[in-house]
Amino acid sequence: MLGRTANDLFWLSRYVERAENMARLLEVGYRIVLLPREGQGFHEEWRSTLESTGCAQSYERKFGQINTRDVVDFLLFDPDNPSSIYSCLSAARRNARAQRTAMTRDMWECLNSSWLEFSAIKPESVTSNALPGLLDWIRGRSALFRGTMLNTILRNDTYYFSQLGTFLERADNTARILDVKYYVLLPSSEVVGGGVDNFQWGAILRSVSAHRSYRWVYKENYKPWRIAEYLILNKQMPRSLGYSYFEVATALEDLGDYYHHRQACQATAANTVSLLESGDINAIFQSGLHEFLQDFIARNNRLGAEIADTYHFSG
């Protein structure tokens, strides 16, 4: 496989995952804005959404003030925002087009149809009432793409690089969501309290589609350290750091076997896996949740760069 093909497949999966994640964050943000509250609380919510998607600075430069309509447009449709759903789907489709030979016809058609439909939407037609339907549709298209991939792709390097993209991106997203909101999870925090807290905790779980499954796993009300444990360490949870890294490490192992060549990045990933497997949530809180997450995000970025280097992503 060409190094460029590996690069494009890896990023294609990242973009699809990112678009889905963005849709989920928008959904949560929108729910919170609808919540009857005093004052300018929704500003905070949108600010943390912008921060967890890494778009806060570019939004600030373009709009200055936080305004629900501007935020929604910026995150959904703005081609100037490289993380907008528009930009993600456009880039995913561009990569897919460049690598049509590496993907199945079903995968290509799924992505191409998604892009053709999405790019035909006029932003002004997306009213408040239409927004939830659109966000559902985006999540559905992402799910359809993943399902199509899993059901049709050859289990070779095309599959492994796609998996790596998906789960590195997912780990990054979950870590960022937690990091932006880490203060609401801190037991000692004084800014939080009562019903709003509960609502914030629920929002974190919702943003990774985990508010129902949490109950099945923990059989109790939301507890901030449980939520952190669930999203960081619990390997049952498919968007947790623990599960994402299980998939990352598996894909790297498979790739090493497939190429008959063990690479150093396998050890790098295994290192993070054991950090998460041996991790204890109390210890993480003691040494600092924010610090832990920052360290994780940096490790994740380093692994991405190491993979790109090892497998000649840029020749």
Partner 1 sequence: MVTSYFDEMYGSGGTVRSPYAMVAEWLGTQRIADLKSKHDEAEALFRRTGITFSVYNDNASAERLIPFDIVPRIISASEWRQLSAGIEQRVRALNAFMYDIYHRQEILKAGRIPAELIVQNEAFVPEMIGVEPPLGIYSHIIGIDIVRTSENEFLVLEDNTRTPSGVSYMLENRETMMHMFPDLFSRNRVAPVENYPINLLRTLESVAPRGLDREPVIAVLTPGIHNSAYFEHAFLADEMGVEIVEGRDLVVRDGALHMQTTLGLRQVDVLYRRIDDDFLDPLVFRKDSMLGVPGVMDVYRSGRTTIVNAPGAGIADDKAIYSYIPEIIEFYTGRAPILKNVPTHNCRRSDDLAYVLENLEKLVVKEVHGSGGYGMLVGPAASAAEIEAFRLKLTARPSNYIAQPTLALSTCPTLVDAGLAPRHLDLRPFVLIGDQVRLVPGGLTRVALRQGSLVVNSSQGGGTKDTWVLQD
What residues make contact with partner 1 under the rule CB under 8 A?
1-6, 90, 93-94, 97-98, 100-101, 105, 108-109, 112-113, 115-116, 119-120, 157, 259, 261, 311-312, 315
CB closer to partner 1, 67 vs 112: 112
Distances (CA, A) of 244 to 163, 248, 249, 300: 10, 6, 9, 11
The distance of closest approach from Cβ of residue 95 to partner 1 in the complex, given in angstroms and rounded to an integer, is 10
| Closest-CA residue to 83 (of 6, 176, 162) | 176
The distance of closest approach from Cβ of residue 116 to partner 1 in the complex, given in angstroms and rounded to an integer, is 5
CB closer to partner 1, 89 vs 178: 89
Do the Cβ atoms of 156 and 97 come closer than 8 Å?
no
Distance CA 134, CA 118 (A): 9
CB closer to partner 1, 174 vs 268: 268
Distance CA 235, CA 229 (A): 10
CB closer to partner 1, 27 vs 157: 157
Distance CA 68, CA 113 (A): 29
CB closer to partner 1, 115 vs 201: 115
CB atoms within 10 A of CB 247: 18
The distance of closest approach from Cβ of residue 181 to partner 1 in the complex, given in angstroms and rounded to an integer, is 34
The distance of closest approach from Cβ of residue 158 to partner 1 in the complex, given in angstroms and rounded to an integer, is 11
The distance of closest approach from Cβ of residue 54 to partner 1 in the complex, given in angstroms and rounded to an integer, is 22
Q: What sign does the dihedral 160-21-224-217 (CA atoms) show?
A: negative
| Closest-CA residue to 264 (of 276, 272, 275, 252) | 252
The distance of closest approach from Cβ of residue 183 to partner 1 in the complex, given in angstroms and rounded to an integer, is 39
Q: If you write DSSP's letter for every residue of 294-314 in order, what string do you get?
A: HHHHHHHHHHHHHHHHHTTTT
CB closer to partner 1, 192 vs 308: 308
**Residue 241, Cα to own-chain centre: how many angstroms?**
11
CB closer to partner 1, 109 vs 291: 109
Radius of gyration of the chain (CA): 19
The distance of closest approach from Cβ of residue 305 to partner 1 in the complex, given in angstroms and rounded to an integer, is 15
| Closest-CA residue to 303 (of 269, 275, 254) | 269
